[in-house]
Amino acid sequence: MSPTIGDTFPDLQGETQHTDAFSLYDYLGNKSWGIVFMHPGDFTPVCTTELGAAQSLKAEFYARNTKICGFSCDDASRHRAWVADIEAATGQRLDFPLFCDPDREHSIELGVFDPQLKDDAGLPQTVRSVFILNPDKTIALTMTYPSCVGRNFDEIL
């Protein structure tokens, strides 16, 4: 069953574009709020502009004691290439982590995939979910959108 409000969000451990030893809990620490937001895949136009918008608001999130973390079903090498593409398209250089889930292990655990929407390899793609986490790592809010619908990061802020 997918985690919901009041449940403890799992400690995402694995790769990001910066490291192969990422821990969401270590990144968030013990005092900050967290926002984890999922994307169906790298290099999609909506995802690219959403991540640029998230980066442009990062200082606003930090002023509210909140750290942001992206999540996509691609690997670290694609994430690194995508970061360059996001900067070219939006003028924003991402410096927050983009968690990698190429095998969909974490997407399945979180229940954030659309079994009807598959990538070229036949694997399900994630929907656009947002999890807002309390400092104790419990879920304070969830929002889920179909993969074809973009999010408004001003609203999330």
Residue 72: CB atoms within 10 Å: 27
Would you name the residues annotated as active-site residues? 47
Q: How far is CA 60 from CA 67, 80, 127, 139, 144, in A?
A: 10, 24, 25, 21, 22
Q: Between β-strands 22-23 and 128-133, what pairing exists: parallel, antiparallel or unpaired?
A: unpaired
Residues whose CB is less than 8 angstroms from the CB of residue 135 and which lie 6 or more positions away in sequence, other chains included: 28, 30, 31, 32, 33
Per the rule left: phi > 0, alpha: psi between -120 and 50, beta: everything else, 9 is: beta
Residue with tokens 């200082």: 59
